[in-house]
Structure 1
Amino acid sequence: MLGNMISNMMVKPGQSPLFDTPEAHGLAYENVVFKAEDGTTLRGWLINGGEDRVIVQTHFGVQCNRGGWTPKGHGPISPWKRDIQFLRQAKYLVEQGYSVLMYDMRGHGESDLGPIPWVSWGPEEAKDVLAAVDFVTERFPEASIGLLSICMGAASTTYAYGRENGLATRLNVKAMVAVQPLLYTCFMEALGMPKFMVRAGERVSEKRLGFDMSQPNFVKDAPKVTVPTLVVQNQNDPWTQMGMVEDYYKALTVEKELKLLDIEKSRFAAYDYVGSHPQDLLGWFDKYMR
């Protein structure tokens, strides 16, 4: 019973329905559908801002979707008190001449479940990042692609670089902004959950996923990233270990920058910062995608 409860918190899909739309932000778009290599159907918005430069935005996990995150439905004790609308940064990018693909990873929003019907924190979702890049490439064969990858999205993107025939072979990808990459093990330790509870949840999750969640480590794939990467991290984030973020940054062998934010003591503050201060972060794409 306890193990199921802990595992559900970490890997149960479908915990956040869509709550925002491009129309609400005055954005021209189309609904799109494409498939990952294992046949999983993914759904998203392709927001029109031009055909030369396209940003693929990959959201964070479990309680998120392509539109962002909302406190609605999460009870009175919520880690953040207002909506985090990812369409704010999409609007900014469109105004700078980019198109933006915002899609739901498997098990999130309106996308289907994968063959493993649980959230894997990146190893399975890496297939979705590849599918999104390939979809954009097919639609805009001459476009440069940038990756805006948030939390589990950053993990998934890095795993996608580590895969055989992975992102390293997609030469039209030119830059990445990785917002608060997070290992499952570091998150669990930062939460301060008693070890017996962690072990109980991990036993259930291993049966569901088919692997021990403490084993995959995207930091080991960071040296395989081939594009200039901006790593963004709130240094006051209580749900991570700064040493892990520094290890990830050090492991990158490309042109890189680590931007540490000194903002509210909440992990969600950095997710909100991307949309409220897009000019501070997203100029990275301008630098490498001209």
Structure 2
Amino acid sequence: MLSKLLSNSIVKGGVSPVFDLPSDYGLPYEEVTFNAKDGVQLSGWLIKGNTDKVIIQSHYGVQSSRSGYTPEGKGMMKMWKEDIAFLKHVKHLHSKGYSVLMYDFRNHGNSDEGTSPWVTWGPEERKDVIAAVEFITQHEDYNNAQIGLLSICMGAASSTYAFGDGVKEFDNIKAMVAIQPLRYLDFIKALGLDNFIGKGVTKLNNERTGIAMDEVSFMPNVKDITVPTLLVQNQNDEYLNKQSIDEYFDALTVEKKMIWLDLDKKRAAGYDYLTKHPEELLFWFDQYLK
């Protein structure tokens, strides 16, 4: 029973509502849908700014949707005490002329269930990043636009996997901001589960997803990233393995910068900081999307 409950908190989708609208922030937008290569339909918003530069946001996993995070309906295990509304930093981007594609990963928000109902922390979700890039690249209004990737946690993992699966061939992608990429094994170890319970949870997760989650990692694909990358991490994140973040940064072969944030001892503090101080992190796009 305990293994199932813990597994649900790690790989069960469907707990991440879309809880606001761009119109709440005075942002012009349209509802969009597009399909991943395996036929899964993804749902999103296209926030309309200039047509020459587009940011594609990929959110973090399980607890999040394109909207961000809301504690409503999360029971006693809340990762943050209040809403983390991603439209706040998107409004900042829009004010600087960017269009923004905000979409829900499969098994999240208003997107369809994937070919598997379980969240895989990147291996399956990489297809959604690829689909988002293709959607903008083929869009009649944005097919000449430069693209920046705003990739948050599982979004960063998925984007990294995607670079190893063909995204590096898209020369319209000009930069990436990767916020707090997290390896599955680092998360499991940080939970502090005893060896027996930890192995039981991972065994169930592997069975559910059909992926050896304790063996696969996005780290081998970091070398495939072809665009200038800003890496952001809260140094007080309770799930942080600093060695892994250092390894990610060291493996980047492109122009790069590391920002360590000194925030609350909560992983979600890094996401909250993005919404409240976007100018301190999203300046990276201004340097490379002209």
Q: Which residue of 2 aligns with 1:58?
A: 58
Contact 1:6 1:198 in 2 (8 A): no
User: 1:112-261 alignment to 2 at 5 Å?
Assistant: 112-139=112-139, 140-163=142-165, 166-261=166-261
- Matched to 2:288, the amino acid is Y
SS in 2 for 1:205: helix
Looking at structure 2, the residues matched to 154 and 42 of structure 1 have their Cα atoms a distance apart, in angstroms, of 18
Q: Which residue of 2 aligns with 1:11?
A: 11
- CA gap of 1:83–1:181, structure 2 versus 1, over 3 A, is same
Contact 1:2 1:200 in 2 (8 A): no
Q: Which residue of 2 aligns with 1:102?
A: 102
Q: Which residue of 1 aligns with 2:86?
A: 86
- Aligned identity (percent) is 52
Where does structure 1 lack aligned partners over 5 or more consecutive residues? Answer: none
Contact 1:57 1:102 in 2 (8 A): yes
Looking at structure 2, the residues matched to 118 and 212 of structure 1 have their Cα atoms a distance apart, in angstroms, of 13
In the TM superposition, residue 76 of structure 1 has moved relative to its aligned partner by 3.9
SS in 1 for 2:270: helix
In the TM superposition, residue 77 of structure 1 has moved relative to its aligned partner by 4.4
Q: Which residue of 2 aligns with 1:2?
A: 2
Give CA deviations for 1:36-74 in whole Å, capped at 9, x if unaligned: 000000000000111000000000000110000011112
* TM-score, structure 2 as length reference: 0.97
Give CA deviations for 1:129-174 in whole Å, capped at 9, x if unaligned: 00001101111111000000000000000000111xx110111000
- Matched to 2:191, the amino acid is L
Contact 1:7 1:201 in 2 (8 A): yes
Where does structure 2 lack aligned partners over 5 or more consecutive residues? Answer: none
Give CA deviations for 1:253-283 in whole Å, capped at 9, x if unaligned: 0000000001111110110111100110111
In the TM superposition, residue 18 of structure 1 has moved relative to its aligned partner by 1.2
Contact 1:6 1:197 in 2 (8 A): no
Looking at structure 1, the residues matched to 233 and 31 of structure 2 have their Cα atoms a distance apart, in angstroms, of 31
Contact 1:150 1:181 in 2 (8 A): yes
**Is 1:70 matched with 2:99?**
no
SS in 1 for 2:105: coil
Looking at structure 2, the residues matched to 21 and 197 of structure 1 have their Cα atoms a distance apart, in angstroms, of 40
Give CA deviations for 1:151-205 in whole Å, capped at 9, x if unaligned: 0000000000111xx1101110000000000001001111212221111111111
Looking at structure 2, the residues matched to 75 and 82 of structure 1 have their Cα atoms a distance apart, in angstroms, of 13
* TM-score, structure 1 as length reference: 0.97
SS in 1 for 2:122: coil
Looking at structure 2, the residues matched to 44 and 194 of structure 1 have their Cα atoms a distance apart, in angstroms, of 40
Looking at structure 1, the residues matched to 70 and 211 of structure 2 have their Cα atoms a distance apart, in angstroms, of 30
Q: How many residues are treated as equivalent by the alignment?
A: 288
Segment drifting more, 55-64 vs 210-219: 210-219
Segment drifting more, 259-268 vs 37-46: 259-268
Runs of 4 or more, structure 1, over 4 Å off, are: none
Looking at structure 1, the residues matched to 276 and 82 of structure 2 have their Cα atoms a distance apart, in angstroms, of 13
Contact 2:223 2:252 in 1 (8 A): yes
SS in 2 for 1:247: helix
